[in-house]
Structure formats: structure tokens, C-alpha cells
Chain A
Amino acid sequence: MAVAEAKRNAAEARLSALALPQGGWTGVARAEALARLRAMGLPGRRDEYWRYTDPATLVQAEAAHAALFDPQDEPMVFTSFDRVKVVFVDGVFDPAQSDDLEAAGVELLSRQTADIHWAQSLYGVLETRGQTPVQRPLAALNTAAATEGVLIRVTGKAAKPVSLIYLHKSETSDAILHHCVKLEEGAELTLLENGPAAARFNKVLEVEVADGARFHHIRTQGRDHERRAVTHIFARLGRESLFKSFTLTANGVLTRNEAVIELTGDDAVAHVAGAAVGDGDFHHDDTVFVTHAAERCESRQVFKKVLKNGAVGVFQGKILVKPGAQKTDGYQISQSLLLDDHSQFLAKPELEIYADDVKCSHGSTSGAIDETALYYLRSRGVPLRQAQSLLVLAFLAEAIQEIEDEALAEDIRSRLESWLARHGQ
């Protein structure tokens, strides 16, 4: 009782620091989210789902201070790609730096346009579905409080990727963004996200992928060492649809990325992958929940982490196969490369299967760099650092391979290489 009360008090304290938006077409969804949040309270360390990650700084009323990163230190990703740029500075849309959104069919949540019926059937809807069987109060908080975000509906093959760029300019900013993406039947979209966003960042992305539609998501996050982030992706997949999400995390004192994916149409494919590299004060948590609710669907979870100087990696991944979801093909791998004895990796892989004709495999490993391979490379004249970097990239390769577009994959690789070079690998 005392615990539940503390959680509810935490929710009230957090809410009191926020100006909650009222009315508009999201009004009902927000009110419901608020009620959900008040009933659940905010997470605490004692929650099973937060066993490996302390949510205190994500939950507390004010964002902790986060120093800005020197942009000279690291080039931005995606700059050479033809894309529709949507820029948010500390969580606030910046029209001056953004492209023409109307032409690209991108709507803004902040405009509160009333006739977005499609968005009304999505905003908070997938988040609500994602609250069972596990509670995700920080996502409910997001639905209740977000005033900014994009609403994208795609009916054909999108001409260009939509690129969400999150700039961080204030050391105390506390950003909440909520995006809704709907891919109608047969549509295709690539969504890019990058940037540190804010001192504290809470983001929800709801994605509805209709029958035969294809969604590609590539994001990079981190960069500002002290920034904290909690993100949720809620996706629902129709028949023969494809969902592919890849995240690169480099730095960031605390990151919790949740992905909640529901395969509801037969023959759908969902891949979610992540590569995380952390040096020092770095805590990175991937929490994934994939539900197979239809036949012959394929899901893959591929998560790789490279940790050094006391960095901590967490993976909680689940595949739930519902009754009747026959011929499910589920795969899950989580691995960490520990570059020293101070770093640690905590993994909780789970399978829960209620159908008899399925193929599911999972594995989790943690290991050091292969000294023999390192020596072999060096004996061929490759200098130590370069050899290490080659082996680290090799370790991450399986995750990066999940990016279909080779040019984007190359961009991610070179970003990683520059990170490794700066961090003595």
C-alpha cells in the first residue's frame, strides 16, 4: 500500500510541474491517459519492470541539469540525405529550421487541427493497448501531457524520408513529444530521428502499419553525455506488413527505450534492433515486448551493446505468442561486449508461448574482446586501436544489418567509427 501510494504521489508531484493541455481533438485521449496515470502512479525502483534501471530521474518533478555537447566534437548524421526535416529545439517545433511540412503531408500536434480523424483513432490508442500486461506509466504521462509532435499519414510510397531532428539548447529543458504515424494499405515510409533533444526527454511514437505497408525507422540518440531519455514505440502491424526499427545509442547518462510491437495480421514482419556504445557514466536499457497474435509472422530482436569504464547495459525482451499464432518465427538475441571489468550487462530474455507450432529462439551473451582475433589482426599489421575498432564494429554488425538502406547503414557505421575513435577504441 505504501509503495502504491508513493508511486501515486510521485505522479501528482510530476503533474503539478506540468501545464496540462485541455480540450481539442486529443482532449478525451488525454483525460483518459491522465486517469490511467493517476491509477498506476509513476514507476519506482521496486517495480519488477524497473529492476535494472532506476527511474528516479525520469520520474522526478524537475529535469536534472544536463550540460550541452560541443557540436564540433561530432558531426550530425543523415546530413547528406534528401529528407523532409522537422526540427524541434528542446522539444519545441522550430519552423525556421524545418522544411515545408504541408507539402510533405506532415501535420503538427501543436496545431490541434480538429479534422484529423485518423489521428484521433491513433493518439493514445496504441499506448493504451500497450499498458497490458505490463504497465508503462511514463507513456501514459506522455499522452496526457504532450503538446508537441508530428502526425504523419502516408497513403503511397513517401517521396522522401521524414527526418525528426531534436536539438538540445537549454541545460534544464524537459521535453515531451508524441508522434503518430499511420501507414495506409501498401504505403511506405522511412522515419529518421536524431539528436539529444533535451536535458530530459520523454517521447512516444505510435505507428499503425496497415496491410502490406512498410515502415522503416532509423534513429540515433545520445550524444549529450548528461541527457536522460525515456522513449516508447507502440506499433501495430497488419497483414503482410513490415516494420523495421534500428536505434544507435552513443552516450547519454540514462536511456530507456521501450518497443511494444503487436503483430495482428498474418504474415507480418517486425524487426527491432539496437546498437549501443557507452563509455563511463552510461546506463542504457532496451525493453522490448513483441506480441504474435496472427499466423506466420516473423519477429527479430537484435540488440548489441559495447560497454566500457563502468557503463551499464540492460535488455529486457519478451516474445509472447498468443493462442492460434501458429507458424510464428521469433528470434531474439542480446549481446554485450564488455571492454573492461567495471562494465556490466543485465539481460532478461523471456518467451511465453501459447501455440504449439512455432519456432522461437533466444540467446544472450556477454563477453570480452577476442584477444586471439586481436593478435591475429595485429600480426597482419593492423594497429591495436584500429584492430579493436574493427572487432567492435564486427560485433555490432548483426544489428546494423537490420538497416535495409545501405547508404543509411553506412552513415551509421561511420558515426560509430568516429565515436570509437574518440573513445580510444
Chain B
Amino acid sequence: MLEINNLHVKLEEDDKVILKGVNLKVEAGKVHAIMGPNGSGKSTLSYVLSGRDGYEVTDGSATLDGVELLEMEPEERAAAGLFLAFQYPVEIPGVGNMTFLRTAVNAQRKARGQEEMSAGEFLKVVREKAKALKIDAEMMKRPVNVGFSGGEKKRNEILQMAMLEPKMCILDETDSGLDVDAMKLVAEGVNALRDEGRAFLVITHYQRLLDHIKPDVVHIMADGRIVKTGGPELALEVENNGYAGILAEVL
């Protein structure tokens, strides 16, 4: 589904190189986890895949079902089925959460040549999915993420994912700042979406989340590269011994 080859990325503004040859292949139906120390380039990877400005790809490629992502506008990538749950969800004063969601859902449907969702149908679906994430009606009326707690923001990201039904979901530290109950809600939200045609790339620091969202493959990222790949046991190793051992072994 997602294939990243030899991806090199630097900051547009200065010469700082952040990604130094990332290789990664995620098959449909699988859950991959990326772990790694702070500053290793995990968020940068997710931003570059989703099309954020400010980065320059100096080499390599990233394809979604064989189609080059890096040439596309962010909205085209979304329409192609890519979704990023942000580490730091963005506040948008003046734009209601419900309006935002409905605009996004219909924009993607339009881009795919599907009919727009009627207001009634949309409301029905969104209510059901919001309820599962314990997002109340009042939160839907408020401006996007404005005044939301850390946990509310993260649940709101998962709600967007549930509504947009992307095929490639990237979750960037969605567990950080969540208490155990909120994390369970988020994990349930993710698990509800797991199916044959969909893949997940879960960026996290903690084994905790991976207890709830069982990964098929775990990667360790350090200094802009994937330095080690293994099964779920790799996450346990990090949990028990930290990164030092692994990094010493590979560098």
C-alpha cells in the first residue's frame, strides 16, 4: 500500500537534513509501528507524506498504491486515501467542528467523483461515531480544536479518521497526553477501522498503545533512518531497555 524508498528530506529554509534515506513498505491490512527517540524524524516523515510546506525532498520517493504521493497537493493525497492524525492538532477559530468535518467529507467525495452526503445522513453517521469516542454534541459545535483538552483533540482526530475512512492512516503520537481511558477509546476507534483494505502506521513512544493496537511490524527510527525492523517483541525490548541498546547495536 505505502512504499517509501530512500527518502531524503531537508528543511527548505536551511540546510538541515532530517530524513537520511528512509525505506519502508506497509502492506494493506497491516499495522506498522514506528518508535524512536525524540528528534529522530518521525513527525517530519508524517508531514512530508501528507504534504506540509517547509520541507524539501532531495531524493527518493513515496507511493500509495503505486502512485507517487510527493508530487501531489495535500488535498489530493487526502483524496487518494492518506490520513495523518496530528501530533499537535491545529486550532481553527471561527470554523465549527461540524462544518469542518462535513466540508472535508464532501470535498473528498467530490474529488473521488462520488455524490455529496446529505445533511441528514451526515448527521446520523457523525453522531454515531462521535458517541463511540465520547465526543458530545457541544464539542461538535465548538470551533475546531479551540479550547479542547489534549485528550479531546486526539479523539477529534480519530473522529475525523473514522468519518473520512482513509485507506492509509498515519497516527503521530496519538497516545501522548492521553490517560488510560482515553487511550482505550482511541485504540478502539482505530481497531474498529482495521480491515483488509486499510493499513496503519502508528508512531509512538510507548508500548502502552501497542498493547491495544497490536502491530504486525515494529520499526525503530533514529537520526532520520529506519535502523531496525522486527515484530511486536521489538516494542517490548524498547519498553524494557530503552533505545540505547538497539542504537548501540546498529550504529
Chain A residues with a Cβ under 8 A of chain B: 370-373, 375-384, 386-387, 390-391, 393-395, 397-398
Q: A381-B107, A390-B103, A394-B95 are in contact. Are A376 and B86 (CB under 8 A)?
A: yes
What residue of chain B has the Cβ atom nearest to residue A378's Cβ?
B74
| Interface of chain A: mostly helix, strand, loop or mixed | helix
B93 lies within 8 A of chain A by Cβ: yes
Contact at B75–A382, with CB atoms within 8 Å? yes
A376 to B88 CA separation, bound complex (whole angstroms): 10
A398 to chain B, nearest CB (A): 7
A383 to B107 CA separation, bound complex (whole angstroms): 7
Q: A373-B90, A395-B94 are in contact. Are A378 and B103 (CB under 8 A)?
A: no
Contact at A381–B94, with CB atoms within 8 Å? no
A384 to B84 CA separation, bound complex (whole angstroms): 18
B117 lies within 8 A of chain A by Cβ: no
Q: A371-B53, A375-B52 are in contact. Are A381 and B104 (CB under 8 A)?
A: yes
Q: A386-B103, A386-B107, A390-B103 are in contact. Are A379 and B92 (CB under 8 A)?
A: no
Contact at A383–B94, with CB atoms within 8 Å? no
Q: Which residues on the B side are within 8 Å of A397 (C-beta)?
A: 94
Contact at B94–A379, with CB atoms within 8 Å? no
Q: Which residues on the B side are within 8 Å of A380 (C-beta)?
A: 78, 100, 104, 107-108, 160, 164
Contact at A384–B107, with CB atoms within 8 Å? no
Q: Which residues on the A side are within 8 Å of B79 (C-beta)?
A: 381
Most interface-central of A370, A372, A379 (chain B CB within 10 A): A379
B56 lies within 8 A of chain A by Cβ: no
What residue of chain B has the Cβ atom nearest to residue A386's Cβ?
B107
Listed by A's residue number, 18 A-B pairs whose Cβ atoms lie within 8 Å are: A375-B51, A375-B53, A376-B90, A377-B92, A377-B100, A378-B51, A379-B50, A379-B75, A379-B77, A380-B107, A381-B107, A381-B164, A382-B107, A383-B111, A391-B94, A393-B94, A394-B143, A397-B94
Enumerate B130-188 residues with CB–CB distance to A below 8 Å.
Answer: 143, 160, 164
A379 to B80 CA separation, bound complex (whole angstroms): 11
B59 lies within 8 A of chain A by Cβ: no
Chain B residues with a Cβ under 8 A of chain A: 50-53, 73-75, 77-79, 83-84, 86, 89-95, 99-100, 103-104, 107-108, 111, 143, 160, 164
Q: Which residues on the B side are within 8 Å of A393 (C-beta)?
A: 94
Contact at B103–A384, with CB atoms within 8 Å? no
A30 to B89 CA separation, bound complex (whole angstroms): 62
Contact at A382–B92, with CB atoms within 8 Å? no
Contact of B51 among A372, A379, A386, A391 (CB under 8 A): A379
Q: Which residues on the B side are within 8 Å of A384 (C-beta)?
A: 73, 75
A373 to B74 CA separation, bound complex (whole angstroms): 13
A300 to B51 CA separation, bound complex (whole angstroms): 41
What residue of chain A has the Cβ atom nearest to residue B79's Cβ?
A381
Q: Which residues on the B side are within 8 Å of A370 (C-beta)?
A: 92
Contact at B51–A382, with CB atoms within 8 Å? no
A389 to chain B, nearest CB (A): 10
Contact of A372 among B90, B143, B160 (CB under 8 A): B90
Q: Which residues on the B side are within 8 Å of A381 (C-beta)?
A: 75, 78-79, 104, 107-108, 111, 164
A387 to chain B, nearest CB (A): 8
A231 to chain B, nearest CB (A): 28
What residue of chain A has the Cβ atom nearest to residue B111's Cβ?
A381
B87 to chain A, nearest CB (A): 12
Q: Which residues on the B side are within 8 Å of A390 (C-beta)?
A: 95, 99-100, 103
A393 to B143 CA separation, bound complex (whole angstroms): 13
A370 to B90 CA separation, bound complex (whole angstroms): 10
Q: Which residues on the B side are within 8 Å of A379 (C-beta)?
A: 50-52, 74-75, 77-78, 83-84
Contact at B92–A376, with CB atoms within 8 Å? yes
A52 to chain B, nearest CB (A): 27
Q: A375-B74, A376-B86 are in contact. Are A382 and B94 (CB under 8 A)?
A: no
Contact at B95–A382, with CB atoms within 8 Å? no
Q: Which residues on the A side are within 8 Å of B108 (C-beta)?
A: 380-381
What residue of chain B has the Cβ atom nearest to residue A380's Cβ?
B104
Q: Which residues on the A side are within 8 Å of B78 (C-beta)?
A: 378-381
What residue of chain B has the Cβ atom nearest to residue A396's Cβ?
B94
A391 to B52 CA separation, bound complex (whole angstroms): 18
A380 to B50 CA separation, bound complex (whole angstroms): 10
A398 to B108 CA separation, bound complex (whole angstroms): 29
Q: Which residues on the B side are within 8 Å of A376 (C-beta)?
A: 86, 89-90, 92
Contact at A378–B73, with CB atoms within 8 Å? yes
Return the 10 tightest CB-CB contacts between A and B, nearest first: A394-B94, A381-B78, A378-B74, A380-B104, A381-B108, A376-B90, A397-B94, A378-B75, A394-B95, A381-B107
